[in-house]
Amino acid sequence: MSAAQQFTRSDGATISFVRDDAQDTKKPSVVFLHGLRSDKGGTKAEALTRHARERGYGLLRFDMFGHGASSGRFEDGGISRWVEDAVAVLDELTTGPQILVGSSMGGWVMVKTAMARPRKVMGLVGIAVAPDFTEDLMWAGFDAGQRAALMTAGAVDLPSDYDDGPYRISRHLIEDGRRNLVLRADIPITCPVRLIHGQQDAAVPWETSLRLAAKILGDDVMTHLVKDGDHRLSRPQDLTRLCGLVDELVTKGCS
């Protein structure tokens, strides 16, 4: 396994990343974008890394601000900051065309990053994508007490099925999310896009992937619904499907 390295951004914040360079430089490489409160060492990231090595293309995975081994507090992060991290990684740590693979919150970051660097990004693969989740899932789902706590105390704790403790959701995360909404207008992305979503996803409705697909202006957009799939989509059959879709876009990038 490749060792983790540190990349220092211009403001002094550090990003922990693992990079496997391509064995076949004719193939595009892959950048993995993890989900909320996850990191670069998750099951899907590790499976993609092993698969990329077998296929000879490069893969880079990193921890966004306030996640994993990167600097910063989670409560101080937000979509704007995490998109800035992804763009900085693309600009400073990759060469040539890239395929972005975004999981859950990483799917929102993926879309914003592709919009910021259209000449660099040649394909997208989204896993249980969660664009606009701060507004459509969190804020819309808060009761009056939670909204009041968020506005007065600056944060609210939410229970989590995917972590040992609750998520502390900051007012900053919600307000910054509103500045980054993507499902309210057409999305100027024309590269190939593949989306996978489980229909048993209890965290992000599978219809979210259909909404995203409808907003993307490009024609080469496909959504794969997994009837018995959950939010994680980390079963062996899910990982095989994911790797196959990445392979498909890598092949397109070679043609």
Catalytic residue among 70, 104, 170, 209: 104
Check if 201 is active-site.
Answer: yes
Catalytic residue among 34, 67, 197, 231: 231
HEC states along the chain?
CCCCEEEECCCCCEEEEEEECCCCCCCCEEEEECCCCCCCCCHHHHHHHHHHHHHCCCEEEECCCCCCCCCCCHHHCCHHHHHHHHHHHHHHHCCCCEEEEEECHHHHHHHHHHHHCCCCEEEEEEECCCCCHHHHHHHHHCCHHHHHHHHHHCEEEECCCCCCCCEEEEHHHHHHHHCCCCCCCCECCCCCEEEEEECCCCCCCCHHHHHHHHHECCCCEEEEEECCCCCCCCCHHHHHHHHHHHHHHHHHHHC
Check if 2 is active-site.
Answer: no
Check if 231 is active-site.
Answer: yes
Catalytic residue among 85, 132, 136, 201: 201
Residues known to be catalytic: 104, 201, 231
